[in-house]
């Protein structure tokens, strides 16, 4: 059973912890690639562990991730695609057991185990999701991301999904891709994002205590502000209700994702009903310190 989630009102993070473009803005001069996670964890509270979707890491790697991060850091790891996409949550007990066995050294630092489901996983598959959730350990912290259109039409299918998540205290993961789709397809990164990111309505519902927002940003930082305005209304309400959201910031190439995360977090600080701790990017020789005051 994981330890309690650290007492932070909002857990802020990015889609990854290692990116060459962040050498100056996040890691600082002289930082080796093997030290990037530790440097990242000095600034951000959490990270999306997307790598586990494609391949299960070695036990040695998992232990290194544990040792590189403080006790109050939180990962959100995706179940492997072999479980969610190939098996679609059915007949996969051994796959789940094997995956969780390898990830066991990090269990106390996992805030959410995330289930990203393919677009073809629709209303007829909700029974498989229910059975899967029933087989997970009691009080297992989980988030579920759906992509089938029926789950975004506010009809009976979406109601059934939300009731299922509420009953199991599973968090509905919210994808906000509006900003990136508002960007003109002028670069390879934007074109790639338009092809790969789901374009689904934003249904900001909290089905458990840790709603997770994946904000896919516009490459121009200021152009994200109108889209984030919705969250400046919703997040304070969740905080007032005692929720502890996870907020992940992406951009098409993620080059300036740390700066965008700092910008949006600063806006949230101003309207939050609860004091949010500051987040600062480290100073370096070529960039001034970005500090949230």
- pLDDT of amino acid 291: 38
pLDDT in tens, 98-120: 999 999 999 999 999 999 999 99
Q: What DSSP character marks residue 218?
A: -
Total structural domains within the chain: 1
71 belongs to a structural domain = yes
Say if residues 108 and 141 touch (Cβ distance below 8 Å): no
Average pLDDT over residues 215-219: 97
2 belongs to a structural domain = no
pLDDT band at 176 (very low <50, low <70, confident <90, very high): very high
Give the ranges where 197-271 is alpha helix by DSSP (H): 225-240, 257-271
Task: Burial-class residue 275 by CB neighbours within 10 Å (0-12, 13-18, 19+).
Answer: exposed
pLDDT at residue 3 tops 90: no
Residue 127 is part of which domain span?
11-291
181 belongs to a structural domain = yes
pLDDT in tens, 35-80: 999 999 999 999 999 999 999 999 999 999 999 999 999 999 999 9
Sign of dihedral through CA atoms 67, 72, 73, 78?
A: positive
pLDDT at residue 135 tops 70: yes
Q: Nearest-CA neighbor of 49 among 182, 212, 209? A: 212
124 belongs to a structural domain = yes
1 belongs to a structural domain = no
Say if residues 161 and 132 touch (Cβ distance below 8 Å): no
pTM score over 0.75: yes
3 belongs to a structural domain = no
User: Which uninterrupted H or E stretch holds 61?
Assistant: helix 59-68
pLDDT band at 97 (very low <50, low <70, confident <90, very high): very high
Contact partners, residue 159, CB within 8 Å, separation at least 6: none
């Amino acid at each position: 059973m994981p330890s309690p989630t650290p007492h932070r009102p909002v857990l802020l993070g990015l889609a990854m912890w290692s990116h060459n473009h962040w050498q100056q803005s996040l890691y600082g001069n002289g930082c080796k690639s093997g030290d990037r996670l530790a440097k990242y964890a000095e600034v951000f509270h959490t990270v999306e562990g997307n790598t586990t979707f494609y391949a299960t890491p070695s036990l040695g790697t998992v232990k290194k991730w544990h040792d590189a991060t403080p006790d109050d850091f939180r990962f959100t790891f995706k179940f492997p695609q072999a479980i969610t996409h190939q098996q679609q949550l059915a007949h996969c007990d051994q796959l789940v057991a094997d995956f969780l066995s390898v990830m066991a050294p990090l269990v106390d630092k996992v805030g959410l185990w995330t289930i990203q489901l393919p677009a073809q996983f629709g209303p007829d598959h909700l029974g498989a999701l229910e059975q899967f959730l029933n087989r997970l350990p009691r009080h297992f912290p989980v988030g579920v991301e759906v992509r089938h259109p029926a789950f975004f039409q506010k009809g009976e299918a979406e109601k059934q999904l939300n009731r299922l998540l509420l009953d199991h205290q599973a968090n509905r993961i919210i994808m906000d891709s509006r900003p990136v789709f508002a960007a003109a397809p002028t670069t390879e990164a934007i074109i790639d994002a338009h092809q790969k990111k789901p374009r689904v309505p934003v249904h900001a519902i909290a089905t458990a205590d840790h709603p997770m927002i994946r904000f896919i940003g516009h490459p121009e930082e200021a152009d994200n502000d109108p889209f984030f305005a919705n969250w400046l209304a919703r997040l304070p309400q969740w905080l007032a209700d005692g929720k502890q959201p996870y907020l992940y910031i992406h951009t098409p190439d993620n080059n300036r994702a740390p700066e965008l995360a700092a910008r949006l977090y600063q806006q949230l600080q101003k309207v939050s009903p609860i004091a949010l701790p500051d987040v600062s990017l480290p100073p370096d020789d070529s960039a001034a310190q970005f500090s949230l005051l």
